[in-house]
Amino acid sequence: MGIPQLSKHQQQSRSNHGSGVNVNRKRQLCFPSTWAGVCIFNRSGGPGVASSKPAKESKNHDSDHLCSTVTQLHRFKMPELVIKTNVKKESIKSTILQDLTKILVEALQKPEKYISVVVIPDLWMSFGGTEEPCATCCLTSVNQFHDAEANRNYAKCVLNYLYDALGVSQERAYLEFNRSTRETMGYKADTFYGLLGPSS
């Protein structure tokens, strides 16, 4: 009996798997663009994800929508700003959430619906050994903050507003830039690694 011949499709599939190419990465999933409520995974714990199943082949009339959706997903950066302060809530500018959202929209060039701002007031904390008004902040985003000069601009925009809104001095506030990855950012009972594949 002769050796069975592989079809071109089978040969290509074998070639991809043999070379370590993630075939599923080439297929993208479409899902709703409601991105509220994201959780961050500790890097030391590892991603711990299951890859998403390949999407069914799109029909011609769906191809434009699929490409548009994938483009939006790859541009999505999930900005989240968390502010911890010992300033009492009643002493903080009442429009701080809305104001910082607008600042981040302009600075990061991201749609407002993707941006989360969290302010945690009334904390028992010190800065420089005293309990005078102070704050520590963390701005998180996926695959961002590579550019040192851009980070300087983000710091200027956010901190200059906070000095006034919280009533803290420039010497008593930190802003950390947390560059997360798809492997360490969870959403919809999965991670962005599972939904979009490895970070490019």
Contacts of 190 (CB under 8 A, 6+ apart): 49, 50, 52
Phi first, then psi, for residue 166 (nearest 5°) are -100, -20
Question: Is 79 among the catalytic positions?
Answer: yes
Catalytic residue among 4, 47, 79, 121: 79
- Helix axis angle, 96-108 to 148-162, nearest 10°: 160
- Beta-strand relationship, 173-180 and 135-142: parallel
Distance CA 136, CA 142 (A): 20
**Strand ranges across the sheet with 80-85:** 116-120, 80-85, 135-142, 173-180
Distance CA 78, CA 15 (A): 35
Residues annotated as catalytic (active site), given as ranges: 79
